[in-house]
Amino acid sequence: MRVALLIGQLGRGGTEKQLTLLACGLRERGEEVEVLVMYEGGHWEAVLREAGVPVVHLGFRRGPAALPRNVAAFASLVRRLRRARPDVLNTFLIRANVAGVCAGRLARVPVVVTGERALATLTGAAGAAVWLARLADRLADLVVANAAGVAEQVARLRRVPADKITVVYNGLPASAYEPAPPADLGVTAPVVLVVANLHPYKGHRHLLEAMAVLRARGVKCVTALAGDGPERAALERQARSLEVEVRFLGCRADVPALLARADVVVHPGLADGLCNAIMEAMAAGRPLVVTDAGGNRELLDGRGLLVPPEDPGSLAAAVETLLTDRPLAERLGAAARDWSRANLSLDAMVGAYAGLYRRLLRVRGHGPRPALRTSDRSE
């Protein structure tokens, strides 16, 4: 079976990571896979290439001035799909969904699947973007959401029939469960860790307000933020204004070690789907406080503390509970780890996608096509 996976870019992000895990997993199962990238590459490109998965840059550019170039890049995408003749085109996130569905239909790809991953992209779209995204999901053979909460929003906001939407949970590799030595952060106080890019919808500002509440109560702890992004300067100013101790760690490759050092892991996001950072903290057995948004309840109902989004008071109370009641923290961490082992297997995720692809091919009356010659792959 030939599978093409289309995405905007391959930087450090949850969707990009899951696409990489899916591509590598499909290849290990003997499927023929290539990844098509609209804009820039990034961290995960090297991982894909090292695993033997081809990565193709399509040459799209951002901004209204890039329209002529993007028209040419779209035409090139259609030609590539016609020549490569994949059995399945699976797109991820709004730009790739729109471009990919249109190109896939023009190129007569037998099965086209869109991926909806985060509530932020569903609720944040406006104007023409809403109409285009709605068209893409409705023209696809199937929409795959990574959480039931995302699927419900797709049905409501994209007006997609429920029988065209399915849920496949993200997967965790076995390495996520391997113990790591704790990172040395140079502090002796308890550490409250957040692993998330510094974007507004990740809710860091609400956590810093919660940390100010804890400081006023005399609770000793240090906040560590792993990740980077456009909100960093504003968050640094906020931390100074609130006089809370925050370590801005930037992008880190040693997340397992950071998790091992954390006393409590917090995810204060406002619009996640099935958050990779929460999943990894669960695998590490860390006690979690997360907002009741997106797919978070599906992950942590009864296995962590859920608080309303944008509610620093509730967030502070939950963090204080886990910092002071260590037996409770340990029980919740162990329950989260056990549930993740049973429900977030990488093999299960890859198998679910492969099964969906084959089922859709059978419904369309297509069998997997023979492997391509190397010369057929080149532009």
SS3 state at 273: coil
Task: Tell me the mean pLDDT in the region 107-120.
Answer: 90
Superfamily of domain 175-343: Glycogen Phosphorylase B; (3.40.50.2000)
User: Are the CB atoms for 257 and 180 separated by under 8 Å?
Assistant: yes
- For residue 280, give both structure tokens: 């990894």
User: Which one is predicted more confidently, 119 or 359?
Assistant: 359
**Entry pTM:** 0.88
Q: Would you place residue 374 in the very low, low, confident or very high pLDDT band (cuts 50, 70, 90)?
A: very low
Task: Tell me the mean pLDDT in the region 255-281.
Answer: 94
How far is the C-alpha of 230 from the C-alpha of 205, rounded, in Å? 13
User: Are the CB atoms for 121 and 270 separated by under 8 Å?
Assistant: no
User: Are the CB atoms for 348 and 312 separated by under 8 Å?
Assistant: no
The counts of H helices and E strands in the chain are 16, 13
DSSP label of 345: B
- Report pLDDT digits (tens) over 5-24: 999 999 988 899 999 999 99
Q: What is the largest CA-CA distance in the chain?
A: 68
Task: Tell me the mean pLDDT in the region 266-271.
Answer: 92
Share the mean pLDDT of the chain. Answer: 93
Task: Tell me the mean pLDDT in the region 295-318.
Answer: 95
Q: What is the pLDDT at residue 378?
A: 44
- Report pLDDT digits (tens) over 143-178: 999 999 899 988 988 889 999 999 999 999 999 999
User: Is residue 51's pLDDT more than 70?
Assistant: yes
Q: What is the pLDDT at residue 198?
A: 95
Residue for token pair 């100013």: 237
User: Is residue 98's pLDDT more than 90?
Assistant: yes
- Report pLDDT digits (tens) over 183-217: 999 999 999 999 999 999 999 999 999 999 999 99
CA 269 to chain centre: 13
Task: Tell me the mean pLDDT in the region 43-69.
Answer: 94
> Per-domain residue ranges for the chain?
2-171+345-374, 175-343
Asked: is 2-171+345-374 a CATH 3.40.1000.10 domain? The reply is no
Q: What is the pLDDT at residue 157?
A: 85
What H or E segment, with its residue span, contains residue 208?
helix 204-216
Could you tell me which residues come within 8 angstroms of residue 85 by beta carbon, excluding any fewer than 6 positions away?
2, 109, 369, 372
DSSP label of 196: S
Task: Tell me the mean pLDDT in the region 325-331.
Answer: 98
Q: Would you place residue 133 in the very low, low, confident or very high pLDDT band (cuts 50, 70, 90)?
A: confident
Strand locations in 254-331, DSSP E?
264-267, 288-291, 305-307
Residue for token pair 């009641």: 325
